[in-house]
């Protein structure tokens, strides 16, 4: 069971003046399908040192990592049609990818490290993950564009996500209830948040 992982190493907050307002939350998958016309995948300047002709390892993973392993597939897999929903290069998101890996439906997934629940499920199935670190990424927190908060420390973020701090006035902002959103359980970013919080109990999600 192979998992190529990304570790989250940095937690920051940016205000709207520094970054454009986010209007789309997902990767445009159609731009990264291997061998699709006009895709925007990264390419090598020479042929890859390994090539697969048949019996292709089935790849799956997180949406954010699809451009990485799709580029790998285009470099080493034979030219063909690779539907992201059902092919040797698929994208079913982190939680589903782990489930598929545990039930031997895929061979390799590209995802953040497994959550405690995913590790527990693997133990129940007598499965051992082979984790291979692939890279690091930043974990960025956004506030509403009307919020005057310009930055938050890691400790302030932990206090918010454990429920200790519930009002913006407690961290230097204007008085108002903090709505601290979270991702679904089992998603890569939620697992990273849980790791960031550490041994403290994470607040209930909004």
Of the three residues 75, 102, 125, the one that is the final residue of a domain is 125
What is the radius of gyration, based on Cα positions, of the chain? 20
Does a structural domain hold residue 11? no
Total domains, the chain = 2
pLDDT at 8 over 50: no
Same domain for 168 and 89, yes or no, is no
Residue 170 pLDDT = 93
pLDDT digits (tens, 9 = 90+) for 56-114: 999 999 888 999 999 999 999 999 999 999 999 999 988 999 999 999 999 999 998 88
Contact by Cβ (8 Å): 166, 179 = no
pLDDT at 6 over 70: no
Does a structural domain hold residue 78? yes
Which residues span the domain enclosing 155? 138-205
Question: What is the spatial distance between Cα 43 and Cα 156, in angstroms, rounded to a whole number?
Answer: 41
Of the three residues 83, 103, 125, the one that is the final residue of a domain is 125
Query: Average pLDDT of 40-57?
Result: 93
Residue 3 pLDDT = 58
pLDDT digits (tens, 9 = 90+) for 151-203: 889 899 899 999 999 999 999 889 999 888 887 777 777 777 877 787 778 77
CA neighbours closer than 13 Å in the CB half-sphere of residue 188: 26
Does a structural domain hold residue 65? yes
Residue written as token pair 């390994």:
50
Of the three residues 78, 97, 125, the one that is the final residue of a domain is 125
Supply 182's token pair.
Answer: 């979270």
């Amino acid at each position: 069971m192979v998992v190529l992982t990304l570790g989250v190493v940095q937690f920051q907050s940016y205000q709207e003046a520094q970054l454009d307002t986010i209007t789309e939350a997902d990767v445009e998958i159609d731009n990264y399908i291997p061998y699709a016309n006009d895709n925007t995948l990264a390419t090598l300047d020479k042929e890859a040192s390994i090539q697969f002709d048949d019996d292709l390892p089935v790849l799956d993973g997180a949406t954010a990592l699809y451009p990485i392993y799709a580029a790998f597939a285009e470099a080493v897999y034979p030219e063909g049609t690779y539907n992201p929903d059902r092919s040797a290069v698929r994208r079913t998101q982190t939680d589903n990818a782990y489930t598929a890996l545990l039930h031997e439906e895929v061979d390799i997934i590209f995802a953040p490290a497994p959550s405690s629940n995913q590790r527990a499920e693997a133990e129940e199935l007598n499965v051992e993950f082979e984790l291979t670190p692939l890279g690091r990424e930043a974990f960025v927190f956004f506030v509403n564009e009307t919020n005057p908060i310009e930055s938050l420390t890691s400790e302030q973020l932990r206090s918010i996500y454990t429920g200790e701090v519930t009002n913006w006035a407690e961290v230097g902002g204007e008085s108002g209830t903090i709505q601290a959103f979270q991702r679904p359980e089992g998603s890569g970013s939620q697992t990273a948040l849980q790791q960031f919080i550490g041994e403290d109990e994470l607040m209930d999600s909004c």
